[in-house]
Amino acid sequence: MSSINYSEKIPNNVNLADDRALQRALEQWQPNFLSWWGDMGPEGSHGYDVYLRTAVSVDAGGWAHFDHVKMPDYRWGIFLTPGEADRKIHFGAHKGEAAWQDVPGEHRANLRRIIVTQGDTEPASVEQQRHLGLTAPSMYDMRNLFQVNVEEGRHLWAMVYLLHRYFGRDGREEAEALLERRSGDDDNPRILGAFNERTPDWLSFYMFTYFTDRDGKFQLSALAESGFDPLARTTKFMLTEEAHHMFVGESGVSRVVQRTAQVMNELKTDDPKRLREAGVIDLDTVQRYLNFHYSVTIDLFGADHSSNAATFYSSGLKGRYEESKRDDDHQLEGQTYRLLDVKDGKLVEREVPMLNAMNEVLRDDYIKDSVAGVNRWNKVLEKAGIDFRLTVPHKAFNRAIGTFAGVRVAPDGRIIGEAEWAANEAKWLPTPEDRAYVASLMGRVVEPGKFANWIAPPAMGINRQPVDFEYVRFN
């Protein structure tokens, strides 16, 4: 069950060979995927041999194989965490019933929508990041970028498998549409806002993988609880890969901060202008990037008050983060949750039925998890003897979805007027000058063991290889 036959066209642990029709459908989709990868995957990289991790089994002990591979030859496979015998639905109205091995007719439309929305984010991020290989600050970082990219490609495969296997003709049409939408396209954009933003530079990339891949972690964790067993098992395995994506973000920002702190100490200054002259990213700019990525990402959880979210939970389609570790009735009828609302120009708390607040419940769990990493970045500053501290802005800041859309809120949570917003926006969010400055630092560094001036080397290499290992062979 757990070992993957790599001689198959589509490596898998789902006995694809036993289902000819499904195998044929996926084999027809595969060249379209490869042609999408050719057009929208990492620019100019197709001939490189990259030291990549490939999923080769679902064993917790050793599921990955590392070797140099050309990315178009990467084996994008379909892996599900092994099923639990007699698994039961453990939340919502169907709690205690056997988990579904097939799509229940009544939940078909909602499940399809959930899978398509998740699936759409995967190729979107590859598209957003496709130019970054040209300006990698090191070979090590370039390899990490490509690792994230190929695995987002595999996550697309994971969702397409579910669509093909369980949703018949509409599933196949959705799978095609996933290759047709384009991040940022005016006519046919990706489904969710944050996935249509550009990821123009490496500071954005680290912020994205820290904050936005973490949104992925929380969405996948909620789906890993699903009563639809194939979805639960698929997303569980995706989470295994996702951890590395967040590591790339967390360690990336940490190394930026570390390098800036070092130069601050050398020059004995915190003046952004002098730091920029020295070619590092001043901490105010790091904070503005953080504010942007954090606020755009928490919008991804959806409206704070949502009847769809209630339906998804009650129907057993999407649980809470760590649903099974919670000690309540897992049905939540009659329970309430405190939401923030705007009243008379102030933020006030309001109690609502918890089922309608499921997006907010997940967002609040996400926020707790995000803050932990920001504190680790602050430890780097503390250790360097720098007083500056990075913070996450108030959750009402710069929101475009839900109650706070259209409300001007300062990072400290005060509701403010247009004038105060206009006077401070350049302090709170990246300005065109900030972006131009960061862009000016981007230049490719490709000698093994060398790093761009604005970022510190990592503490160690990938898969116990040295930091100066040849992670990418350009041929």
CB of 155 to Fe ion, least distance (A): 4
**Is 207 in contact with 198 (CB distance < 8 Å)?**
no
Question: Coil, helix or strand for 70?
Answer: strand
Question: CB-wise, 23 or 221, nearer to Fe ion?
Answer: 221
Residue 213 in contact with Fe ion, rule: CB under 5 A: yes
Question: CB-wise, 245 or 399, nearer to Fe ion?
Answer: 245
CB of 202 to Fe ion, least distance (A): 16
Q: Which residues fall within 8 angstroms of residue 167, CB to CB, at 6 or more apart?
A: 103, 108, 112, 115, 174
> How many residues in the chain?
475
CB of 127 to Fe ion, least distance (A): 13
List the structure tokens of 299. Answer: 């919008």
List the structure tokens of 441. Answer: 């630092």
Number of shown-chain residues binding Fe ion (CB under 5 A): 7
**Is 249 in contact with 297 (CB distance < 8 Å)?**
no
CB of 65 to Fe ion, least distance (A): 19
CB of 118 to Fe ion, least distance (A): 8
Only one residue has tokens 């496709």, namely 130
Cα dihedral 410, 412, 415, 417 in deg (nearest 10): -30
CB of 211 to Fe ion, least distance (A): 11
Closest by Cα among 20, 147, 59 to 472: 147
Question: CB-wise, 175 or 339, nearer to Fe ion?
Answer: 175
CB of 169 to Fe ion, least distance (A): 26
Question: CB-wise, 238 or 310, nearer to Fe ion?
Answer: 238
Kindly tell me which residue out of 155, 165, 181, 182 binds Fe ion, with binding defined by CB under 5 A: 155
CA distances from 98 to 85, 88, 110, 230 (A): 10, 4, 19, 13
Residues in 443-462 at the binding interface with Fe ion, rule: CB under 5 A: none
DSSP state of 430: -
What one-letter code names the amino acid at 425? Answer: E
Region near Fe ion per CB under 5 A, out of 4-12, 216-224, 287-295, 305-313 = 216-224
Question: CB-wise, 152 or 174, nearer to Fe ion?
Answer: 152
Question: CB-wise, 158 or 257, nearer to Fe ion?
Answer: 158
Closest by Cα among 190, 223, 227, 234 to 362: 223
CB of 369 to Fe ion, least distance (A): 15
Residue 215 in contact with Fe ion, rule: CB under 5 A: no
Residue 245 in contact with Fe ion, rule: CB under 5 A: yes
CB of 126 to Fe ion, least distance (A): 10
Question: Coil, helix or strand for 375?
Answer: helix
Q: Which residues fall within 8 angstroms of residue 453, CB to CB, at 6 or more apart?
A: 259, 279, 280, 441
Region near Fe ion per CB under 5 A, out of 118-126, 129-137, 225-233, 379-387 = 118-126
Separation CA 368–CA 366 (nearest Å): 5
Region near Fe ion per CB under 5 A, out of 66-74, 154-162, 307-315, 451-459 = 154-162
Q: Which residues of 162-199 are buried (b: 16+ CB within 10 A; e: fewer)?
A: bbbbbbeeebbebbeebbebbbeeeeebbbbebbbbeb
Q: Which residues fall within 8 angstroms of residue 148, CB to CB, at 6 or more apart?
A: 125, 129, 209, 213, 244, 245, 248
Separation CA 91–CA 87 (nearest Å): 12
Region near Fe ion per CB under 5 A, out of 35-43, 244-252, 351-359, 441-449 = 244-252
* Cβ neighbours of 25 (radius 10 Å): 20
Question: CB-wise, 120 or 304, nearer to Fe ion?
Answer: 120
Region near Fe ion per CB under 5 A, out of 58-66, 210-218, 294-302, 452-460 = 210-218
CB of 473 to Fe ion, least distance (A): 25
Over the Cα atoms of the chain, what is R_g?
A: 23
Question: CB-wise, 190 or 435, nearer to Fe ion?
Answer: 190
Question: CB-wise, 79 or 397, nearer to Fe ion?
Answer: 79
Question: CB-wise, 362 or 386, nearer to Fe ion?
Answer: 362
Write each residue from 285 to 324 as x if it is in contact with Fe ion (CB under 5 A), else as -, in one continuous string: ----------------------------------------
Region near Fe ion per CB under 5 A, out of 2-10, 136-144, 243-251, 454-462 = 243-251
Q: By CB under 5 A, name the binding residues for Fe ion.
A: 122, 152, 155, 213, 216, 242, 245
